[in-house]
C-alpha cells in the first residue's frame, strides 16, 4: 500500500464519518421527533379505539335488552296496520272515483274551450274576408282616394265598436 492509497482510504473514511454524523444530526433534529410523534398519534388512536370499543359493547348490551320490547311493539303495530289497510283501501277507491269524475269534467271543459277557440278563429277569418271584400267594393264604388279612406274609417269604427 502506498501513500496515495492510504490518503484515499483516510478521506473515504472521513467522508463516510461526516455522512454518518450528518445523518445522525438529521435523525436527532427531525426524524426522531417525527417517529415519536407518529408513535404517539398511533398510540392515542389505539386508546381511542379501545374506549370506543368499550362504549359500543355497552350499547350492544342495551340494544339487546331493547329488542324484546321492540318485538312486542312491532307485533302491535302489525295488527294496527292490517286494520288500517282496509280503511286506506276504501279511501283509495273513493279517491279513484273522484279522480275519474274530475277527469271527465276537465275533458268536457276542454272540449268546450276548443269549440270556442274554433268559433273565434272562424269569426276572425270571416271578419278579415269581409273587410277585404268591403275594400274591393269601395275601390270599385268610390272614385277618389279620400272618399274611399273616409268610408273605410267609418265602417271600421262601427265594426270595432260592436
Q: Is residue 139 helix, strand or coil?
A: helix
Q: Is the pTM of this model over 0.85?
A: no
Q: What is the pLDDT of residues 63-89, one digit of tens each?
A: 888 887 888 888 889 888 888 998 899
Q: What is the pLDDT of residues 103-145, one digit of tens each?
A: 999 999 999 999 999 888 888 888 788 777 777 777 777 767 7
Q: How far apart are CA 156 and CA 135, in angstroms?
A: 11
User: Residue 3, CB half-sphere, CA atoms under 13 Å: how many?
Assistant: 0
Query: Is a pLDDT exceeding 90 seen at residue 61?
Result: no
**Domain boundary assignment for the chain:** 3-161
Amino acid at each position: 500500500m502506498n501513500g496515495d492509497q492510504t490518503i484515499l482510504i483516510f478521506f473515504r473514511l472521513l467522508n463516510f464519518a461526516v455522512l454518518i454524523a450528518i445523518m445522525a444530526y438529521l435523525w436527532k433534529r427531525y426524524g426522531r421527533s417525527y417517529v415519536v410523534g407518529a408513535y404517539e398519534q398511533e398510540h392515542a388512536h389505539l386508546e381511542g379505539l379501545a374506549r370506543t370499543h368499550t362504549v359500543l359493547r355497552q350499547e350492544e348490551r342495551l340494544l339487546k335488552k331493547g329488542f324484546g320490547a321492540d318485538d312486542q311493539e312491532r307485533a302491535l303495530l302489525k295488527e294496527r296496520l292490517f286494520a288500517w289497510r282496509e280503511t286506506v283501501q276504501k279511501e283509495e277507491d273513493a279517491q279513484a272515483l273522484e279522480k275519474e269524475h274530475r277527469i271527465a269534467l276537465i275533458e268536457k271543459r276542454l272540449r268546450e274551450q276548443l269549440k270556442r277557440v274554433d268559433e273565434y278563429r272562424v269569426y276572425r277569418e270571416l271578419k278579415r274576408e269581409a273587410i277585404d271584400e268591403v275594400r274591393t267594393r269601395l275601390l270599385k264604388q268610390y272614385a277618389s282616394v279620400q272618399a274611399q279612406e273616409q268610408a273605410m274609417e267609418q265602417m271600421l269604427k262601427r265594426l270595432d265598436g260592436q
